[in-house]
């Protein structure tokens, strides 16, 4: 049976144009049969020709299903949990997202941002607060020391501590009678104004001029949680000059004198420590160290004003009283009254002046013994412990006229020095009389320091 002459049963040689049957793979001229196109079966062709749903319809159906699921989840969360706060987006985050997003992604759907957008504010440096790790006394003290200040009033010294870079807390009796004082803390020196003083609390606030914004400060705690037996640390300038003096002890008891709370402690509190902080083991201030009755009552007795009264003073609430907490405690324990205490303090101050006058008088004794043999012809008769006291009398010393030594200059120098001693002793004696120091006490002190002169009682 012969094949039809159709194109599908024969092929034409491209070399010689001779038609050859399809079963022949090579022409008579030797040229190979070209490859025939692949015939697709009718079943495959029919399958490919079957119509399919468009892709856009599938995308729409998928988006609808996703949106329905999202709405269901959001409504479920809204019913079960409170709505979280709107996120805050910083300017840098917005800028970064704009720069890093490829252009090809701009056609994608993006969920809208809800809530307000606020720009991030710059961080302002705040003063450091000493917060040493609990359990290390060394670290606690090291962190607190830069916040403790030495206070120099010109006539006395004490301690204080920074609660703000421009604010120092101390005892009222440290700065009593002063309007400004000098501070030294961590190697820096400041001048401070006595801003607030409360004798009833025995506390004072000092405003620091030219404060350092990075000045270390101490955190105020509360004495309400203090317990007997609790470990405490006292820091200050012992004797006004021994800087960074640290003593350690416990809270012996919590006392109440009037409306003031006192912390009794066996931590050594020496003169000059007044106004310094009493710290607990967390480094917080729970009291303000005070001096007073420790030396009069016994050993191991120190007292600190509860720091809660500092908070009251910072809030503008002071106690209008001239009686100090320690004076009230002294009276409650059977100690001297306020009048007796002023008399004792006056006698102690008088003795300090007499001691100074006596040491300077000893130097004038030596000068008088040398010069009087040459220059002094005679002195007025006076009852005194030292011969040169005659210089305090009008025409009490007569000069010799037979010597070539410049006796007038020597005598003028002696009289000037003697007058300084006279004025200091007279002023101190008058101050002692005003606070009630007994005349017999003053006479005994004059005799003790060889300052007897009958002119004192004229």
User: Does the structural domain 137-332 have CATH classification 2.40.160.60?
Assistant: no
Note the pLDDT of residue 218: 94
User: Tokens representing 400?
Assistant: 């010799």
Q: What is the pLDDT of residues 382-404, one digit of tens each?
A: 778 888 888 888 877 877 766 66
Residue 228: both structure tokens together = 């007997």
Indicate the DSSP class of residue 153: -
- Give backbone dihedrals phi and psi of 102, rounded to 5 degrees, phi first: -65, 155
Query: With 0-12 CB in 10 A as exposed, 13-18 as middle and 19+ as buried, what is 213?
Result: exposed
Q: Which stretches in the chain have pLDDT values below 70?
A: 1-8, 35-59, 70-135, 239-243, 291-300, 319-339, 401-404
Stated length of the chain: 458
State whether residue 78 is helix, strand or coil: helix
Q: Give the helix/strand (H/E) hosting 255.
A: strand 242-257
Q: What is the pLDDT of residue 371?
A: 86
Sorted by sequence, the CB contacts under 8 Å of residue 452 that are 6+ apart come out as 383, 384, 385, 446
pLDDT tens-digit series, residues 130-165: 555 555 788 888 899 999 999 988 877 889 999 999
pLDDT at residue 181, rounded to an integer? 93
For the chain, which residues make up each domain, given as ranges?
Answer: 1-33, 137-332, 338-457
- Residue-level pLDDT at 300: 61
């Amino acid at each position: 049976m012969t094949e039809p002459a159709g194109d599908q049963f024969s092929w034409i040689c491209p070399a010689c144009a001779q038609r050859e049957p399809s079963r022949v793979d090579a022409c008579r001229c030797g040229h190979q049969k070209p490859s025939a196109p692949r015939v697709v079966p009718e079943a495959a062709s029919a399958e490919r020709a079957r119509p399919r749903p468009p892709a856009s319809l599938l995308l729409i159906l998928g988006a609808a299903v996703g949106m329905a699921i999202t709405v269901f989840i959001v409504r479920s969360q809204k019913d079960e949990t409170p709505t979280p706060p709107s996120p805050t987006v910083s300017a840098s985050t917005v800028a970064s997202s704009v720069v890093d997003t490829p252009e090809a992604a701009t056609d994608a759907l993006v969920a809208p941002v809800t809530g307000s957008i606020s720009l991030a504010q710059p961080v302002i440096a705040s003063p450091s607060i000493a917060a040493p790790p609990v359990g290390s006394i060394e670290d606690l003290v090291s962190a607190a020391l830069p916040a403790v200040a030495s206070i120099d009033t010109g006539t006395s010294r004490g301690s204080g501590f920074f609660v703000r870079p421009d604010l120092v807390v101390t005892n009222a009796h440290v700065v009593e009678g002063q309007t400004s004082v000098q501070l030294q803390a961590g190697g820096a020196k400041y001048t401070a104004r006595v801003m607030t003083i409360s004798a009833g609390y025995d506390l004072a606030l000092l405003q620091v001029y030219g404060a350092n914004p990075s000045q270390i400060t101490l955190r105020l705690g509360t004495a309400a949680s203090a317990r007997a037996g609790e470990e405490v640390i006292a820091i200050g300038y012992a004797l006004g000059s021994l800087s960074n003096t640290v003593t350690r002890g416990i809270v012996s008891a919590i006392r109440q004198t009037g409306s003031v709370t006192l912390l009794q402690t066996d931590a050594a509190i020496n003169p000059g420590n007044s106004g310094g902080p009493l710290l607990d083991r967390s480094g917080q201030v729970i009291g303000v160290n005070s001096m007073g009755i420790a030396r009069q009552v016994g050993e191991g007795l120190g007292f600190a004003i509860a720091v809660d009264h500092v908070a009251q003073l910072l809030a503008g609430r002071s106690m209008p009283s001239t009686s100090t907490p320690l004076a009230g405690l002294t009276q409650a324990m059977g100690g001297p009254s306020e009048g007796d205490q002023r008399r004792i303090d006056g006698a102690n101050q008088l003795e300090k002046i007499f001691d100074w006058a006596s040491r300077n008088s000893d130097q004038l004794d030596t000068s008088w013994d040398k010069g009087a043999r040459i220059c002094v012809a005679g002195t007025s008769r006076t009852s005194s412990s030292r011969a040169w006291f005659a210089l305090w009398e009008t025409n009490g010393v007569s000069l010799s006229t037979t010597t070539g030594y410049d006796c007038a200059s020597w005598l003028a120098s002696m009289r000037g020095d003697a007058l300084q001693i006279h004025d200091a002793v007279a002023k101190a004696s008058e101050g002692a009389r005003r606070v009630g120091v007994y005349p017999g006490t003053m006479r005994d002190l004059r005799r003790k320091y060889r300052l007897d002169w009958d002119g004192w009682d004229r």
